[in-house]
Amino acid sequence: MMGDRDFRTVIKNAIESVGKQLDYKIDTEDIGKIHLSEVTKCLRRSYYDRTDPIEAEKTRFSDLLGGMFRQLDYGSTPDTYDLPGDEQLKLEGQSDMIADDVVMIFRSVSEFPEDPFAKDILYLNACLWIYDKIDGILVYIDGNGNEASFSLTKDKKMFEEVVRRVRVLNDLIKSKKAPILEPSTECLTCQYYERCYTKKKKNEKDLVQQILGKDFK
């Protein structure tokens, strides 16, 4: 606290405002267009985001990384993929950059993973289908500005899984049914935790045990 102003709150609000500007733009009223970011995270969370949202906290500047690349002159613009056999349903996605026909996405991490995270691979692979490209690169950047990159070639089977999730989410939104829980470490920071688990937030150790006891990764 400095003087009459709580600067921590001011900074947090500023980051949240910037975050809103940089985040993917999703028209939650348009159920015929599902955004790729909605199906590469927990479907239940995406369902609540559309039907009964609670604002998620964005408190780290590093959460804004991909959005900052998209704002650059050479940042990429959103595009859509028409789902076969369903004229009413489209998948929308946006990579962060496309350079020399290579699709790129950037993610911030506190420490580098040995293997890329499944949701990032699913996201990048689906971008390859949306933009009709062959090769992609996923770049992780840590707090010190170091980077680790993983390359990916377009894969049909992985994309079919994304398409399946698009159809599931669309069906459940139409029928107003919440998707089943997808327990993962994402739950630890999810704003809908209390809708899915106990009324009162448990301590993190209990939750990690609960998550690791299930099959979903």
> Which residues of the shown chain bind ligand SF4 in the complex (CB under 6 A)?
42, 44-45, 181-183, 186-187, 190, 192-193, 196
- CB nearer to ligand SF4: give 23 or 186: 186
CB of 39 to ligand SF4, least distance (A): 13
CB of 56 to ligand SF4, least distance (A): 10
CB contact at 8 A, 150 and 117: no
CB of 175 to ligand SF4, least distance (A): 18
- CB nearer to ligand SF4: give 112 or 216: 216
- CB nearer to ligand SF4: give 8 or 214: 214
CB of 211 to ligand SF4, least distance (A): 8
Burial zone of 31 (CB within 10 Å; 0-12 exposed, 13-18 middle, 19+ buried): middle
- CB nearer to ligand SF4: give 119 or 133: 119
- The residue written with tokens 């990048």 in the block is 124
CB contact at 8 A, 147 and 139: yes
Contacts (Cβ under 8 Å, ≥6 apart) of 83: 89, 90, 91, 163, 166, 167
- The residue written with tokens 């159809």 in the block is 167
CB of 149 to ligand SF4, least distance (A): 27
Provide the pairing of β-strand 135-141 with 102-108.
Answer: parallel
CB of 171 to ligand SF4, least distance (A): 18
Please state, in angstroms and rounded to a whole number, the distance separating the CA atoms of residues 60 and 178.
29
- CB nearer to ligand SF4: give 9 or 51: 51
Handedness of CA 89, 46, 72, 103 (dihedral sign): negative
Helix H or strand E segment including 178: none
Please state, in angstroms and rounded to a whole number, the distance separating the CA atoms of residues 174 and 163.
17
- CB nearer to ligand SF4: give 13 or 189: 189
CB contact at 8 A, 192 and 182: no
